Structure 1
Amino acid sequence: MGTDAENTDVWALGSAYDRYMGRWSRLVAEEFVPWLGCADGLQWLDVGCGTGVMSAVVAARCRPRTVVGIDRSERFVRSAREAAPDTTGAAPTRRFVVADATALPVRRQSCDVAASALVLNFLPDPAAAVARMADSVRPGGTVAAYVWDYADGMGFLRRLWDAAAEADPSAAALDEGRRFPLCRPQALYALWAGAGLADISTTAIEVPTVFADFDDLWGPFLAGQGPAPAYVASLPPVERDRLRSLFSAAVPQGADGSITLTARAWAVKGRRPDHPGGGRVSPTR
């Protein structure tokens, strides 16, 4: 029943992604970007930009000199380009290119901020990617990221996987909370420290996830974008219907049919030291 973990991490269609995760990622980005405390007029690098959600928030809030978004998915990059307004004249320049997180298309120490949204757990070598991000920023520059708290903080995913494991115990092996160690602040802190970054801190960002009705919640799981939807889409119709019933019974529904849950992300930031080994690592908070 279902598929193995290697075949579940499907990310390609911008519209399907936005309905599944993009709408919630945007809410997190609205809190994450101000938390970084970056000045206006900086050069930003958005690593794993997806459909351009975080780049749009940076452009709206930080008056950046430039924002370069990179992603391995050509379809995501196309979606990001289509969503970005005309950047001629005085508007900030947003540019999106197809590239890998460990082969960034920027010169060493050419950026002020390198940030990543919801991508680290899906990279084959997150440490190499963070090291490359750190290498891309100038001394004193910021390296930051946020990831979903798949272990405990994603209300609708937690209920989906619990229902899936009830229907089929083998589905538990596909649960992102088990698969992805970087969904916890301690792991993120260690990753940033390992890259030689200083003044490291983490924070939790919690946002409401409000669904109009159960179809609004269930529909994105049928599109195959991401581990859980890929699993749901792989099921035979009878087993999918059983999972739907278990999932529906597990979520709180209001009198109008709406479903209100929460989603938590963990954010991490650090600074490239002015001199090698010259940084100070601050306590996690």
Structure 2
Amino acid sequence: MGDVWSAGDAYEGYIGRWSRPVAEAFLRWLDVTAGRRWLDVGCGTGALTETVLTAADPERVVGVDPSEGFLAHARERIGGDARATFQVGDARSLPVPDQGFDAVVSGLALNFVPGPRPAVAEFVRVTAPGGVVAAYVWDYAEGMAILRCFWDAATALDQAAAELDEARRFTDCRPEPLARLWTDAGLGDVAVQAIEVPTVFSGFDDYWRPFLGGQGPAPGYVMSLDEEHRRALRELLRARLPLRPDGSIPLTAKAWAVRGRSEAQ
């Protein structure tokens, strides 16, 4: 079962709505000065690009993503801000010149690139000397409760679901592998930081409905089930998720962020 990333509205309801608070914390941690040239690799629906525009006062931002559907959503999201442009492209072969950017960033995308090392090498290639290269990914193993709760329930009903669990698929989404990936790429001053944000759902439907959108591994799995098995998964999740007296579901989402500085001359 392949990962589907094409419908921006469906992705926003699923994971995209939680991307912005993580992006805000990520940019505060990077602390890049104003007037810089930014590249957002795997920009998706534009959450990180939009946050760079509003919080980092850039000279310009270029967003690159392989999904035309996501880029259409990003362009609509950004509106007429002339500082932002978007291009279709692969993280492993970026359609931009050498050393053209002061900050090269990637949010919630690196683990979906087959073999991240060529992608990070590309990040380094397009970063100006002294520039920042940084990314963040979800802590699928423990800290991304939205998905951890989902896959634990799915696996309880269907052992085959374990093969699709991002915690098993994306073992590099941990501090040590991320730091090693950045260091091996020749970046200096490498640091890793946890970013955790609240993800409170207004009720069970608010949690469950996005899994019916088919965007990403977990929703793709849900839509592959017949109605009987989908109903069983829904009811098991309903029974397991924490519930406040007002019916809301309080969860948290943790990401791991990594940064380094280009030492290329």
Please indicate the TM-score interval, normalised by the length of the shorter structure.
over 0.9
Q: Distance in 2 between matches of 1:184 and 1:236?
A: 34
1:171-217 per-residue CA deviation (whole Å, 9 max, x = no partner) reads: 11111001101211111101101110000000000000010100000
Q: Any idea what SS the aligned residue of 1:153 has?
A: coil
1:166 to 146, 149, 156: 156
Does the aligned pair in 2 maintain the 1:71–1:100 contact within 8 Å? yes
Q: Match of 1:121?
A: 111
Shift of residue 274 of structure 1?
Answer: 5.0
Aligned length: 265
Partner AA of 2:64 in structure 1: I
Which residue, out of 60, 80, 92, partners 1:102? 92
**Partners of 1:165 and 1:43 in 2: how far apart?**
44
Q: Once the two structures are superposed, what CA deviation does each residue of 1:114-134 show, in whole Å capped at 9, x if it has no partner? A: 000011111112100010011
**1-structure distance, mates of 2:79, 2:214:** 29
Deviation string for 1:79-109 (max 9, x for gaps)? 1111112225xxxx00011111112121101
Q: C-alpha separation between the residues in 1 aligned to 2:204 and 2:48? A: 28
Distance 1:156 1:67 in 2: 30
Cα deviation, 1:234-253, whole Å, max 9, x if unaligned, reads: 00000000011111111011
* TM value normalised by structure 2: 0.98
| Equivalent runs, 1:59-138 vs 2, <5 Å | 59-88=53-82, 93-138=83-128
1:245-274 CA distances to partner (integer Å, 9 max, x unpaired)?
111111011112110100000000000115
User: 1:139 corresponds to which letter in structure 2?
Assistant: P
- The reply on whether 1:10 has 2:10 as its aligned counterpart is no
Aligned residue type for 1:255:
P
Is residue 226 of structure 1 aligned with residue 216 of structure 2?
yes
SS in 2 for 1:104: coil
Residue type at the aligned position of 1:171: A
**C-alpha separation between the residues in 1 aligned to 2:161 and 2:195?**
28
SS in 2 for 1:260: strand
2:256 to 266, 270, 279: 266
> Does the CA-based 8 Å contact 1:8-1:228 persist in structure 2?
no
Provide closer, same or farther for how the CA distance between residues 268 and 82 of structure 1 changes in structure 2, counting only shifts above 3 A.
same
Which of 155, 171, 196 lines up with 1:206 in the alignment?
A: 196
Match of 2:134 in 1: 144
SS of residue matched to 2:172: helix
> Alignment partner of 1:241: what SS?
helix
- Contact 1:120/1:182 (8 A) holds in 2: no
Aligned to 1:21: 15
In structure 1, C-alpha distance between the alignment counterparts of 2:184 and 2:208, rounded to whole Å: 39
Question: Matched residues in 1 for 2:19 and 2:8: separation?
Answer: 13
Normalised to the residue count of structure 1, the TM-score between the two structures is 0.91
CA distance, structure 2, for counterparts of residue 238 and residue 73 of structure 1: 32
- Does residue 1:246 correspond to 2:236, yes or no? yes
